Amino acid sequence: MTTGEELKNLRESILEQMPPETRFTEQDARTMQQYRMLFLSLADQLVTGFYDMLYQHHQTRQIFTEDERPQREITLKQWWQRVCYGPFDDHFWDWMTFVGLVHVVRGVNNPMMISAWGFVSEKVMEKARASLPPERVYELQGAMIRFGQTFSALISESYLKNYLEMIAGATGTDEKLVELLVKMGRQDFKGQIPGLKKDLDLAHH
C-alpha cells in the first residue's frame, strides 16, 4: 500500500464486508461523545496501565524499547483525545486502516491488538458501571462494542493485506499469484477439516 487512495479503497472494501448492524454509526458517535468527560477522566490511568501491561508481558515487551515509551504514550493520548472529541470521519477510519500497516512493520500481531483493545474497553465499562445508571451503561456498551468491531476489522484486515503484499514484494511474486496460491491452499485444508472435526468431537467426550 503506497498511496492515500489505496488506503481509502481498502478501508471502504473492509467496511463493506461488515453487516451494517455491526458497524459503528453516527448515533454511536453521539453516544460516546455524550460521555466525553467520563472518557477524559480515564486518560492518564488508561495510558499508564496500557503500557505497564505491554511492557510487563514477555511477548509484547519485545516490540518496544524502554526509551520510546514516552513517545508511545503521547501517541496513545492523541488517539484517546480523538476518541473523546471526534470526529469519527473518513480520516479517522483511514488512520485505523493505516495502523494495520504500522503493526506489520512493528511486529504487533492481531491477538496483541485485540486484547489491548479489550483492556481499554473494560476500563471504560468499569468506570461506566460505577458512574452511570444501568440503562446508560447498556447504551454506552453497545456503542463501544460496535466501535471496537469496526476499528478491529480495519486494523486486522489491513494487517493481513499488507502482510501478504510484503510477502509478494520480498519474494518477487505477483500479488494476484499469492491470492491464487491461497485459494489453492484452501482445497488442501478443506480435506483436513473432517479429521479435525472428528478430533474436536472426541475431545468433548
Q: Residue 107: its pLDDT value, please?
A: 94
pLDDT of 19 higher than 90: yes
Mean pLDDT confidence for 88-95: 96
Question: Which pLDDT tens digit goes with each residue over 97-142?
Answer: 999 999 999 999 999 999 999 999 999 999 999 999 999 999 999 9
Half-sphere exposure of 113 (CA within 13 A, CB side): 24
Q: What is the pLDDT of residues 166-175, one digit of tens each?
A: 888 888 887 7
35 vs 201, more confident: 35
To the nearest 5 percent, what fractions of the chain are helix, strand and coil? 85, 0, 15
Q: Which residue has the higher pLDDT, 13 or 182?
A: 13
Identify the DSSP state of 35: T
- Whether 204 has a pLDDT exceeding 60, the answer reads no
**pTM for this entry:** 0.88
Q: Taking a C-beta distance cutoff of 8 angstroms, is the pair 121, 148 a contact?
A: yes
In 3D, which of 4, 163, 185 has the Cα closest to residue 90? 4
* Backbone angle region of 86, left / alpha / beta, with phi > 0 → left and psi within -120 to 50 → alpha: left
CA dihedral 98, 183, 178, 155 (to 10 degrees): 10
Q: Cell digits for 168?
A: 509478494
